[in-house]
Copies of this chain bind each other. A is one copy, B any other.
Amino acid sequence: MGQVIDPAQLLSVAREEAELGKAEGGVPIGAALFDTTGVLLGRGHNRRVQDGDPSMHAETSAFRNAGRRPHYRDTIMVTTLSPCWYCSGLVRQFGIGRVIIGEATTFEGGHGWLEENGVEITLLDDPACTALMTEFIRDHPELWFEDIGVPSED
């Protein structure tokens, strides 16, 4: 490569997406797919509310917007929140080599499992990402539980 990737800089793109989602009244999680030299391939945010689409988590949205590729070994998934099992499965199946994560305080998905399976994980503990989710879960718990498939009576 030769070029230095700044994880915080890449995260800022995902955080912009999360802020867009928040402004639209949606689940404030954002993501972006880059190649290993830092070129942006696709960016997106959770679209459950906006499109009535439960399949568009932030990571799947960024992946979708990157379009078709022969493979993903040279890519980095950047997300504001620890990827849930659905999005962790995406990373593992498509062989995405690295995941940069804003925070895993408000929710911990499958990033440990990814690490065990050879994916490079960078966890940034970004206070702005944590604040976004803390506020969202406090104000819209029913939407949050729906987004992760947890019956609200649990």
By a beta-carbon cutoff of 8 Å, the part of chain A in contact with chain B is 48, 52-56, 60-61, 63-64, 66-73, 84-90, 92-95, 109-110, 142, 145-146, 148-152
Q: Report the copy number of this chain in the oligomer.
A: 2
With a cutoff of 8 Å between Cβ atoms, the chain B residues found around residue A110 in the complex are 89
Taking A53-B68, A73-B151 as given, write out 17 further A-B residue pairs in contact, using a Cβ cutoff of 8 Å, ordered by the A residue number: A48-B68, A52-B67, A54-B66, A55-B63, A68-B146, A69-B146, A70-B151, A71-B146, A71-B152, A72-B149, A85-B89, A86-B86, A86-B89, A87-B89, A89-B92, A94-B149, A95-B150
Contact B63 A54 (CB under 8 A): yes
In the bound complex, CA of A89 to CA of B53 (Å): 17
Q: Which residues of B contact A63 (CB under 8 A)?
A: 54-55
Distance of A56 Cα from B142 Cα, bound (Å): 26
Given known A-B contacts A93-B85, A94-B149, A53 and B64 have beta carbons under 8 A apart: yes
Contact A54 to B48, CB < 8 A, known contacts A86-B94, A93-B85, A146-B71? no
